[in-house]
């Protein structure tokens, strides 16, 4: 044991690097990452199909939340669908899905109780994700993407009292 | 000579079927010999006790036994098959408080979703080529939480507080 600056004890351990002893030291071979990228590309269609189903559930849950803002189950459903979509969209060339999903999750994280104004944001974010998926708005989405980004950013700024 | 990943076995703990398929596919394309996948932290723990793995990709939000709970058990349980197991936490939760929480339970590397082949490869390279020492204090066991960039320590001084 060693004594740290605060007088507390700690022990430093350097276990043998078993992983390195198995895989060696030369880094990834040239083709390894490219092959993995091809796997991602091959799963893009599957993601698009799954995401279409998920946005139907997302918009339905967000709409249901409008009618019952204190329904914790619906709120969690909205959060979890948005969370999964934000975690996957960017992998398949849909960074706007990740952006809007992230904005929705962070908004819900920061908002205790949902009022009429905040529900509009939840619905707007869900609708924006649905547009991106259903219209296959890939990459930055050009004019459509800019319009959606501007719309949601403005709604969030208004909710914060910044606009 | 490039990495010989055909000698390693990897655990993928992820409850989303599509994400599991993606991670398995990428690992196999990179040459990993065997991918063991699991949808629950408790089952994953039993799996690595029976068939040890060389590193793990672990999602945070899994029910009923989360990726965090799995990691805590690997690091501290008396029957852990390998407290030094390199663990990459794969998560969409990148908020500072969440990252700190996972780091305090002994995560080795973070891989933020959405993932890519490049980002996964970079984290594996970190595990292989830049392993961190392990620290044991009264209330922490896991990889050193200090991060050095260009020789300058970045982050909160923790060890003196432990």
Lowest pLDDT segment from A21-30, A55-64, B95-104: B95-104
Whole-angstrom Cα distance, residue A127 to residue A121?
10
Whole-angstrom Cα distance, residue A53 to residue A25?
44
Quickly state the pLDDT bin for A162 (edges 50, 70, 90).
low
Tens place of pLDDT for every residue, chain B, 162 residues?
A: 899 999 999 999 999 999 999 999 999 999 998 999 999 999 999 999 999 999 999 998 888 888 999 999 999 999 999 999 999 999 988 878 888 888 898 999 999 999 999 999 999 999 999 999 999 999 899 999 886 544 434 445 555 444
Quick check: A90 and B114 CB within 8 A?
yes
pLDDT number for residue A116: 85
| Domains by residue range for chain A, with CATH | 45-159 (1.20.120.160)
ipTM surpassing 0.85: yes
pLDDT number for residue A6: 64
| Contact residues for A50 (Cβ-Cβ < 8 A; gap 6+) | B18
pLDDT number for residue B95: 79
Quick check: B18 and A87 CB within 8 A?
no
Report the predicted TM-score, pTM, of the whole model to 2 decimal places: 0.90
Nearest CA in chain B to A81: B16
H/E run at residue B148: strand B147-149
pLDDT number for residue A163: 53
Question: Is residue B11 a contact partner of residue B41, using CB atoms and an 8 Å limit?
Answer: no
Whole-angstrom Cα distance, residue A113 to residue A72?
10
Quick check: A35 and B120 CB within 8 A?
no
Q: Which parts of chain A fold into alpha helices (H)? A: 18-23, 30-42, 44-67, 72-88, 95-110, 116-134, 142-159
What is the pLDDT of chain A when averaged over all its residues?
92
Chain B, 102 to 131: residues with Cβ < 8 Å from chain A are 113-118, 120-121, 124-125, 127-129, 131
H/E run at residue B42: helix B41-50
Query: What are the tens digits of pLDDT across the range A77-93?
Result: 999 999 999 999 999 99
Query: What are the tens digits of pLDDT across the range A128-161?
Result: 999 999 999 999 999 999 999 999 999 898 887 7
pLDDT number for residue B60: 87
| Domains by residue range for chain B, with CATH | 5-161 (3.40.50.2300)
pLDDT number for residue B154: 42
């Amino acid at each position: 044991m060693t004594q740290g600056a605060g007088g507390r004890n700690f022990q430093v351990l350097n276990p043998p690097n078993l992983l390195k002893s198995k895989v060696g030291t030369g880094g990834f071979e040239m083709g390894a990452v490219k092959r993995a990228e091809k796997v991602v590309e091959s799963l893009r269609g599957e993601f698009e199909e799954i995401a279409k189903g998920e946005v139907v559930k997302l918009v339905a849950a967000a709409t249901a939340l409008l009618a019952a803002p204190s329904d914790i189950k619906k709120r969690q459903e909205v959060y979890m669908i948005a969370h999964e979509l934000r975690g996957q969209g960017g992998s398949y060339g849909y960074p706007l899905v990740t952006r809007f999903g992230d904005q929705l999750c962070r908004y819900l994280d920061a908002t205790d109780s949902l009022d009429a104004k905040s529900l509009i944001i939840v619905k707007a974010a869900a609708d924006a994700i649905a547009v991106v998926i259903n219209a296959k708005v890939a990459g930055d989405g050009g004019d459509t993407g800019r319009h959606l980004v501007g719309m949601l950013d403005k709604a969030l700024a208004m909710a914060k009292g910044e606009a | 000579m490039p990495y010989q990943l055909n000698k390693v076995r990897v655990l993928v703990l992820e409850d989303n079927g599509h994400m599991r398929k993606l991670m398995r596919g990428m690992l196999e394309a990179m040459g990993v010999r065997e991918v063991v996948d699991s949808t629950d932290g408790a089952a994953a723990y039993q799996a690595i006790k029976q068939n040890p793995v060389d590193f793990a990709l672990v999602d945070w939000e899994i029910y009923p036994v989360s990726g965090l709970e799995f990691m805590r058990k690997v690091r501290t349980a008396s029957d852990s098959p390998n407290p030094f197991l390199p663990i990459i936490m794969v998560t969409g939760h990148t908020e500072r408080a969440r990252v700190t929480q996972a780091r305090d339970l002994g995560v080795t590397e973070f891989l933020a979703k959405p993932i890519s082949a490049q980002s996964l490869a970079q984290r594996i390279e970190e595990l292989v080529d830049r392993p961190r020492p392990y620290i044991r204090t009264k209330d922490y066991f896991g990889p050193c939480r200090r991060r050095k960039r260009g020789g300058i320590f970045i982050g909160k001084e923790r060890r003196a507080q432990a």
